[in-house]
Structure 1
Amino acid sequence: MENAPNSLIYLFQNKVYRKLWGIGFVQAIMRWMELTALGIFVFQITESPFWVAMVGFSHILPLFLFGSLLGLFSEKYQRKKIIFLSYFGLSVINLLLFLLALFEFLELWHILLGTFFSGIIWAEDFPARMGLISDEIKESILSKAVGLDLTTSNICRIIGPFVAGIYMSSIGIEAVYISGVILMLAGSLIAYKIKESNSSNEHTNDKLSSYFSNIFEGLKYIRSNNIIFPTLIITVVMNIFAFSYRNMVPVIGAESLLITPFLVGVLLSFEGVGATISSFIISLKLNIHLSNRFYFYGSIIFLIMIFLLGINDIFILAIIFLFIAGMSMASFGITQKLIIISNSDKAHRGRVLGVLAASIGTAPLGAMLLGFTASIFNANLALVIFSILGLLLCLVVIIKYRMFLSRDNSVKR
């Protein structure tokens, strides 16, 4: 039956989820298009792997700086308002950047500041939009809701870099920023039309002075949970030693693979193709009790693919490696959010999702170190070094928390 309670059609009958899915779609399109285009553009104007890495650094830094605070805000204030105001604000910023580019006043610091503000939107997505999804969707179909959301993001991982490659080979950076204006306005309009079934939380103290005590309470809750805690540690490892690789792809494309900006976009799109196929299959077939295993082994396979990319100089092989990396990234991404949501109680979930955002926000450290390492050696060797370190640290975590891979420990609620 197509409209059975566990079907995707049943999921889309929820009007709030449908709108939240739409917001995620426009945000993901802009994110992947912007990061790819800016990586190409910054390398063209600076010829520096370090400054290319700083684009990723400035984009992810808000997760680390504001992740926990935004998690607490999402428990205290109406989430739709947080989403609306942030998306509308970013549309204005993109308009200013478009005008600077159009009149040839755009400088590197403008670009980095713009990516920092777009990173704030990504930071609030975890506790605000994902928090709303977990509130609106029944637990029996939550894995499908999270899986569909990530599948959509991965489709955007194909479209975004592909469009970025076309823009940068023909029109220029102006096209990226005017697209950002349109997409962010669309996201703010969708958010404005959301009707929350749950208003701001009753779980947090209303006094501003209680913010830090609430955050520390959330951290204490996380530390006592033997499923959430190692999940977050592996998240930190992957964001420092694995996911920053993307910032080096424009450099590897130019210096090692010897390909055009358009083919750099095509190459990164194949990561999205693999992620889309994998996330769609996982969202339909995943046994929730196997989430921890999909999470850990997805991390290991991804790191191996980054290692292989680092020792490779053949374009076709690079496509294969990124395709498999995308598949393993989808396994990591779906189960990461599912493990966090399924193993946290509602009173702490906003803060836990905020700490998840902050854990992902450690990626600027990885981006900075990767860029520095690439400047000393080269981008390929930097990926080899980082992937080996990531593999070793993941193995250390799983040796310490062997119970993490137990089927019975995947879901505690």
Structure 2
Amino acid sequence: SLLHDARFLRIWIAGAMVGTIRWLEVLAIGVYTYRETGSPFIVACMLFARMLPIMLLGAFAGAIADRLNRRYLMMAGLASMCLVSSFLAALALNGKLAIWQIAVGAALSGIFWSGEFPVRRTMLGEVAGLGRLSAAMGLDSATNDFTRMLGPLLGGALLSSVGLEGAYALGVLLYAVAFINMATLAFAETSSTDIAPVSVLRSIGDGLAYVRTNRLIAATLIITVFVNLFGFTFISMVPVIGEHRLGLGAVAVGVLMSAEGCGALLGSLAVAAWVRTRYFTVTYLSGSALYLVMILAFSMSPWYTAAILFLFIGGLGAGCFGAMQSTLIFFAATPRMRTRVMGVLVACIGAGPIGVLHVGLLAEWLGAHQAVTIIAVEGLIALAAAAIIWPELRRPPALPTDLL
């Protein structure tokens, strides 16, 4: 029924377009940068540039989205990124694209991402309502996971056949499609507060204060930090491991990276279809653990086929993690705090840049696959500690008292 709702469909399509661009660029830029520089650390820095704005601006994005029209914010961001991609495509086509310009483009994409995530996911939750919340977040996570599969395949194919300009040109097209969907969306804003508007800094402070009073949300956020710090950052090393250790070309590296997205897609669909409220937390925790275990196995594999299998299985866990992450936040927060807490969630996702620098430096010193082994072990230790400290992660979640 969600896909028969024109409002949900337009927001969902916009997210699919943006996600495809994001993962296409991660692969294409990673392979291109490694070929140009031969440095794992510089490759990691490209993902760092993309993720740093999320850490710095995530909480501000949620607070600002609480005060302004969300549809207009999405339209402004999409139009801006369409122009950025057009400029970078023109530079690449004329052979004048420099590494620093690619990094600036990645940083601008990260600024857009820091606002797009809390704004669009809050819009999806408002359109779906609590009764369809799990299905809505599961479907959106499944779509993001599909783009994690499709994007690297397209990125590898375009880089091999056209060059980096092809990746940026496709970005222009997809951003335009997303903009059209948001421009034609009939969306009535749902007020997130029943009190007078407050300053952005006060809004951020309120969100952080609320997190301290809700142990389930706090536990959800700390797991988010750990998975982004020690888990997702391994993606920056896939082009390096693929080219240097496994001897792959751009297309084969794209297939390798897409295996994780394929598994995540199936995991998210399973969550949307079968996971009920009482299993939200155990799905979230076990999915996170499975993801880190399979990253560890991938880092130790010298065989291409086995590496694909490990990333596919790990993707199943990532799909469970991704679908439950926003679901638990939206479920456990009161309506007037949801956008603000979503902003805090984005800031926690922003822990990723620290992890990217961590794995990049380790890779420069020890090698890419050894670096991924180390971060996976660190992540599993941190996850075990969180499960002990926050027993809420092992119990069925409960609604906020004012929604009972």
Could you state the TM-score of these two structures normalised by the residue count of structure 1?
0.95
> In 2, distance between residues paired with 1:319 and 1:404?
30
Cα deviation 1:97-150 (Å, max 9, x = unaligned): 011111111111111110111112221122211111111112111111111111
Instruction: For residue 270 of structure 1, report the CA deviation from its aligned partner.
Output: 1.1
Conservation of the 8 A alpha-carbon contact between 1:59 and 1:115: yes
Match of 2:28 in 1: 37
Name the SS for the 1:105 alignment partner: coil
Match of 2:273 in 1: 284
Percent same amino acid at aligned positions? 31
> In 2, distance between residues paired with 1:352 and 1:330?
21
Is 1:125 the counterpart of 2:116 in the alignment?
yes
> In 2, distance between residues paired with 1:113 and 1:68?
22
Matches within 5 A, 1:263-412: 263-407=252-396, 409=397, 411-412=399-400
> In 2, distance between residues paired with 1:410 and 1:231?
13
RMSD in angstroms over aligned alpha carbons? 1.3
Instruction: For residue 327 of structure 1, report the CA deviation from its aligned partner.
Output: 0.6
Is 1:183 the counterpart of 2:174 in the alignment?
yes
> In 2, distance between residues paired with 1:183 and 1:337?
25
Larger mean CA deviation between 120-129 and 16-25 belongs to 120-129
Is 1:148 the counterpart of 2:139 in the alignment?
yes
> In 2, distance between residues paired with 1:75 and 1:203?
12
**Of 9, 32, 42, the match for 1:18:** 9
Could you state the TM-score of these two structures normalised by the residue count of structure 2?
0.97
Conservation of the 8 A alpha-carbon contact between 1:88 and 1:184: yes
**Of 71, 74, 99, the match for 1:83:** 74
Q: Flag structure 1 segments of 5+ consecutive residues without an equivalent.
A: 1-9
Letter in 2 for 1:118: S
Distance change in 2, residues 1:306/1:312 (3 Å): same
Is 1:112 the counterpart of 2:110 in the alignment?
no
Instruction: For residue 346 of structure 1, report the CA deviation from its aligned partner.
Output: 1.1
Conservation of the 8 A alpha-carbon contact between 1:290 and 1:410: no
Larger mean CA deviation between 334-343 and 12-21 belongs to 12-21
Conservation of the 8 A alpha-carbon contact between 2:219 and 2:392: no
Distance change in 2, residues 1:204/1:119 (3 Å): farther
Q: Flag structure 2 segments of 5+ consecutive residues without an equivalent.
A: none
Report the number of matched residues.
401
Cα deviation 1:350-394 (Å, max 9, x = unaligned): 110000000001100000111011001001110111111111111
Match of 1:71 in 2: 62
> In 1, distance between residues paired with 2:191 and 2:146?
32
Instruction: For residue 199 of structure 1, report the CA deviation from its aligned partner.
Output: 5.7
> In 2, distance between residues paired with 1:365 and 1:169?
31
